[in-house]
Amino acid sequence: MNIGIIGSGDVALSLGKGLAATGHHVMIGTRNQDKKELTAWKKHVKKLGSIGSTTEAASHGEIIILAVAWHAAEDVLQQIRPELAGKVVIDVTNPLVFREDEPPALSVGFNMSGGEIVQQSLADSHVVKALNTISHTKMVQPEYKEGMPVMFYCGNNVSAKKEVVQLLRDLGWKDVVDLGDITKSRLLEQLTMLWIEYGAVRGGWDHAFSVLNQ
């Protein structure tokens, strides 16, 4: 498939590599196409990857991955809303605020979530929240000695979620769990806070959640 990734940070580069490795044609959309990290990324993905403007990547993708800093999300979505109409948009963002000398915090919660804000902003697209509860270093082929991590996702459109499940499987996720409609982003974003807290306590960022069943 043609995949457009909006943003060129760690998440964009990791998912872009992982998806290109399984044969998808990935375009990264950025304000700064000359970034040295992108030159290295392009060398790695070769013909299966390209770099363009945010609008070009949004047009290129049959599926779009939103991987921008939360404070930029609304402006970015406003720019590319027409290109995203009718498409599946995977929302990887976490609505975090960063204040000096304070741990990151959610800027929305309890009765609203970033996932819902993205869906409201993109009324003509099918938003699926996924991959926000794991480090970019473990988004692709997640492997742990102790077992298989779980990836929760949610969204309003059933066929959009099926397409996202296929991409998750391409990325190596085996235990994928549909939590329901996009309001379940409230749980997924809180889960990220637990993930961050655990990392701060344990002093590492490669952990993942798993669920044990009898």
* Beta pairing partners, 5: 28, 65
Asked if residues 6 and 67 have their Cβ atoms less than 8 Å apart, the reply is yes
Token pair of 150, please? 């779980």
Nearer CB in complex with ligand NAP: 10/62: 10
- Indicate whether 10 belongs to the interface with ligand NAP (CB under 6 A): yes
Total of residues contacting ligand NAP (CB under 6 A)? 23
| Contact pick of 3, 4, 5, 12 for ligand NAP (by CB under 6 A) | 12
- Percent of the chain as helix, strand, coil, to the nearest 5: 45, 20, 35
| Contact pick of 59, 94, 119, 125 for ligand NAP (by CB under 6 A) | 94
Q: How far is the CB of 46 from ligand NAP (least distance, A)?
A: 21
Instruction: Look at residues 80, 51, 49, 50 and name the one whose alpha carbon lies nearest to residue 66.
Output: 80
Residues in the chain: 214
- Indicate whether 135 belongs to the interface with ligand NAP (CB under 6 A): yes
Q: Rule CB under 6 A: which residues touch ligand NAP?
A: 7-12, 30-32, 67-70, 72, 75-76, 92-94, 96, 132, 135-136
